[in-house]
Structures are given as C-alpha cells and as structure tokens.
Structure 1
C-alpha cells in the first residue's frame, strides 16, 4: 500500500529519486552501500531517499540475516482519469522519468504539459511501436506539436528499446539527399 502521496509526487518530479527507485527495482534487491556507489547524489541523500521511499510504501526492507538492510521495490499502478482519458502511472513510466535530464523532450513534455499528458503519450508510443498508431495521431491525441511528439517517440524508443530497426522512427538531414538527383517533386509528377 502506498501511503506517502507527497513522496509519490516527488518520485514523478525528481529524476534522482526516480533513478534510485528504478535501480532497486532493476536489481531485485539492493543495499544502501550498493546504491551509494551508483547514485549521482550524496550518501546522505541516498539514505534520505531510501527512508522516504520506505515510509511511502514504494520500497520495503528484506531481511536476509546478514546485517545490512536489503531493499526491494514494490510494484504499483496508479490509474488517473482526467477529462474521460484514463492513464496509468507505473514503475516503467518512473523508469523513463528517471532519465528526463538526459532527454530534453521528456523534460519539455513534463514541464509544459504535465504528467497526465506524458503518461498518455507513453501509452501511445508503446502502441506506436506495435504499429497501432502514428506519430501524427500521438500528436493529435496529446495536443503536442508534431516535432515534440516525434522527439518524444525517439527518446522512448531509445530508453525502452522499442521496436526493431525498421519500425524505429527515422530522421533525415539535408545531407541524406544528393543535389544531383534532381527535384523530388518533379520526379514524383513525372511518374
């Protein structure tokens, strides 16, 4: 049972806290010293986060009799209904949020549109990887610009290793086109 809504909210906003939770979840169990070694925050902050996460019911202590406390992450799913749109906040979504400092599109969507829009986009991008929706539909359904939707699709494909090489979004630059090949529009109208 999650008891600390303020901590849960901080988990959605604080990539360091989200990263700590994600590290525990990925490893199955972890000790404080193990987490301190891999964390990007101070030892004091790691232990403060561990206490906060444990008090909120997001992690628990596993007694293995060795003396050093081992922590395990609790699974959860929080379903929100906003304007007839249902979105789920899950540990997988937290894993993506933990990387928002590395992917500007994630931070931009969270800051400009909020967690509900981000969670909806996450679900739609998962559907995109399965061929169920297009990037244009993602943009339309989330009220994101096409460019922002595309950037977010690229970020989530990278983080979650979605799709295969053929279904990954492609990016083109002017260097990809040869000036000697003629006008693309002219070539299309000739056919």
Structure 2
C-alpha cells in the first residue's frame, strides 16, 4: 500500500532505507565525491574500475562507495568476476528557505564535480551559495536557447560580469552547449555595455 503525506510521496510498499542525508549535502562541498557519483551515473561500474579511472585513492573510493550506498544514491546491480557492480540512482533534493525553493539534482552535481578544473564553480558556491549557483546554471542553459542575454544573467544573479563570463565559458564546455558542441562566442568583461546585447541573432537591445 502506498500512502502520501505532507513530507513523503510515492513511497511504495515500504520506505527505502535512506540514512545518509548528510551525503547529499557533502556532494555540494566535495568535488571528489561528486565526481565518483557522476562517474557511476554515466555508466555502471565497479570499485576497481573507479580506482583506475579517477585520481582518488583506493581506500577513499571504497569509503565513498559505502557512503553513497548508505545514502541511497547508488545501488548494487550484480557482480562482475566477483566484484560488485554499482549503478547510480536519480534524485531530486528540494529545499525551501524563506519561500525560495532550490532543487539539487544529478545535473548540478555533474557540474560541481568539475570545480577543480573550473575554479569559478567553487568560487560561486563559496561566495554566493547553492541558490545562486542553481539559478545561474539554469540561466546559462536558457542563454544557449537564445532566451536570455549574458547581461540578463548578471542582473538576475547579482554576479559580477567577470564571474558571469567565466561561468558561461565553463558551463558551455562542461555541458557541450552551443551548435555542434562548439564553445560560445567569446566575450570579455569589457564587452558588457549598457546598450549591447550579448546574445547573437536576437536583435535585443
């Protein structure tokens, strides 16, 4: 029997065991943990394969696998030559604070996992928090669809023009945005003028 409450929906016959809620939060602060979850989400894999394909130590890989499994973020789907095979579970963790709702998803974690290569991501999270980061992420994707200009992104997120520029470049690269996976037209902070639109082909002033 399934019964929905104010806090829990779609629970099914019995509640699943999810004991590691802090792990969801750690995904935002620990790029190695985020990278490990993302690697498993990209393809079912094993501990030894993760050790070979990541820069994380063997002990840390297995510690993280245990942590992710306890949190319900990964599950076992069998064995390969006696080695456990893991798959990642999709999730959406939604938090509402002062009427502002933000949802943490695997798509955000995929970007957070790459903050070592793209320091602007870590800076944005540290200086502005997850709400601004998630908003900027969505706006950059909207920019790729010609729905907003880069200037509008700076205004809606209250980010500096330089940070916005760096973030757009980073997300276009990580998410393969743009036509045929190309990078966006290159702008510099000096290109942000009051009268110019930085979105090609819109004619917007």
Query: TM (normalized to structure 1)?
Result: 0.83
The Cα shift of 1:80 comes to 3.1
Residue of 22, 27, 47 corresponding to 1:11: 27
2:115 counterpart residue number: 100
Within the candidate set 143, 166, 171, 1:128 is matched to: 143
Task: Structure 1: state its 5+ residue gaps.
Answer: 175-191
Q: 1:137 aligns with which of 152, 170, 173?
A: 152
* Alignment check: 8 A CA contact 1:57 1:74 kept: yes
Would the alpha carbon gap of residues 80 and 124 (structure 1) be closer, same or farther in structure 2, given more than 3 Å must change? farther
Any unmatched runs of 5+ in structure 2?
1-15, 191-205
Report the CA distance between 1:43 and its aligned residue.
0.1
Give SS of 2:186's match: coil
CA distance in 1, matches of 2:158, 2:174: 23
Deviations 1:34-71 (A, max 9, x none): 01111211100000000000000000011247421100
The equivalent residue for 1:149 is: 164
Q: Which has the higher helix share?
A: 1
The 8 Å contact of residues 135 and 157 in structure 2, kept in 1 or not, is answered as yes
Partner residue, 1:188: none
Q: 1:167 to 1:32 in 2, by over 3 A?
A: closer
Matches within 5 A, 1:22-101: 22-27=38-43, 29-64=44-79, 66-101=81-116
Instruction: Indicate if the aligned counterparts of 1:129 and 1:167 stay in contact, CA closer than 8 A.
Output: no
Q: CA RMSD in A?
A: 2.2
How far off is 1:84 after superposition? 4.2
Q: Which residue of 2 aligns with 1:113?
A: 128
Shift of 1:167: 7.8
How far off its partner does 1:150 sit? 1.4
Give me the TM-score of the superposition, normalised by structure 2: 0.78
Structure showing greater Rg: 1
Query: 1:104-161 CA deviation, whole Å, 9 max, x = no partner?
Result: 2111101100111101110111111101111111111111111111110110001001
